[in-house]
Amino acid sequence: MLVPKKKYRNVMALVPLVMLAVVTGTRYYMGGYDIYNYEYTFNTIPSLSNFHLWETFKTYGFFGSDIGYRFINSLIKSLGFNFFGFTLIVSFFFYICVYFGLSKFSNNMNIVVIILMYKEFLGLTFIYMRQSIAVGFFLLSLRFLFTNRPFRYVLTILVASTIHFSAIFLLPLYLLKFVRLTKKGIIIYSCVFTVSYVVSLSNINILGFMSPIAELFSGSAQEKISSVAGDSDLYQGGTSILHLVEFLVVDMLLIYIFNHLTLNQTREWMIKLFLCVLPFYSILAGEGILARIPFYLLLSYAFIIDYFVDNSRHAVRALTYLAVIIVCFGGMYMFAQKFDGGEMLLYRSFLHYNLSIFN
């Protein structure tokens, strides 16, 4: 019996995803100083028998202090795993979510893998363990978003928010179902927000209204929202204009083929999620603490590129894939070269040291 082309290509994507899961999950103290914070949290969290959820909730609150993440640490610790086992489990969880969250909607998961290697392999899964879990939950929630099941979507996002508070800002995405996509609308939207990049260079605080929102959270979430609102300068930095340039290139591909694109519910949602990335690289580019929000949405690039390829001749298709591969692997190399003085260029695995994943 012949395997359908789409299904065959998506199943084949499991091979690189498993490989990436192993590489990420067995890294040995790589990913900056955060890895030591994660290890400290894991080692100090009590096992499940001594983890009092209600007391933890009263002490730390529900959103903002990672009560869900603390629970996951306690659960995995109670199963007999050490910190290396924890990193391996978290890694596999993320890549499983990538596959099962997106393969149903993708004609070619291989392009998703290529975009992932540039946008999230090093920048997310090597560095931000908490957020990689939250992104995984969001990817799983897409089926509820796309099939108009708001309760299940909201519930999944609320769970993700207890792991990394940034996920709670994904709740309003459901309102995008009421937005009508048109080529003219996309062009106007893209132009307005591209020009708004100058605002990010002028140090104008446009998010001061978020000060009261900070009081709804606790812990680091409160600190970060206060920083975004301009109440403190605890978190500084910004995103490179190259992110905006990359977005606009993919955006132009979308605009070019939009009138020839047969829209369905899945495609409409993917396009909307893709367009949501733009403000973070334009008007909000100066808010460094917001640079992590696009991690939830960046894999949508792969779908826009795939829509373009599906509407192109074979020669254009081949050149597009070649260009994407060159840009993605070049970008991944540049990230590895710049992060922590090139620390990621020399990969280290705890397997090299014959370390166990169990206590």
10 Å Cβ neighbour count for 148? 10
Going by C-alpha positions, the residue among 270, 288, 299 that lies closest to residue 136 is 299
Question: Which residues does 87 contact at the CB level (< 8 Å), separation at least 6?
Answer: 24, 25, 26, 27, 38, 129
Going by C-alpha positions, the residue among 89, 103, 95 that lies closest to residue 136 is 95
The gap from C-alpha 16 to its chain's centroid, in whole angstroms, comes to 18
Give CA–CA dist 27/343, Å, rounded: 12
pLDDT of the residue at 2: 39
pLDDT of the residue at 1: 34
pLDDT of the residue at 233: 63
Give CA–CA dist 210/126, Å, rounded: 30
| Single pTM value for the model | 0.94
Report the chain's terminal Cα–Cα distance, integer Å: 46
Going by C-alpha positions, the residue among 136, 131, 128 that lies closest to residue 33 is 128
Calculate Rg over the CA atoms of the chain: 21
pLDDT of the residue at 57: 72
Going by C-alpha positions, the residue among 324, 339, 333 that lies closest to residue 114 is 324
* pLDDT tens per residue across all 359 residues of the chain: 334 566 677 888 999 999 999 999 999 999 999 999 999 999 999 999 888 877 777 666 666 678 899 999 999 999 999 999 999 999 999 999 999 999 999 989 999 999 999 999 999 999 999 999 999 999 999 999 999 999 999 999 999 999 998 999 999 999 999 999 999 999 999 999 999 999 988 877 777 767 777 666 766 677 777 777 666 665 566 789 999 999 999 999 999 999 999 999 999 999 999 999 999 999 999 887 788 999 999 999 999 999 999 989 999 999 999 999 999 999 999 999 999 889 899 999 999 999 999 99
The gap from C-alpha 69 to its chain's centroid, in whole angstroms, comes to 17
Distances (CA, A) of 304 to 3, 82, 265, 308, 320: 25, 40, 14, 6, 12
Q: Are 17 and 113 in contact (CB under 8 A)?
A: yes
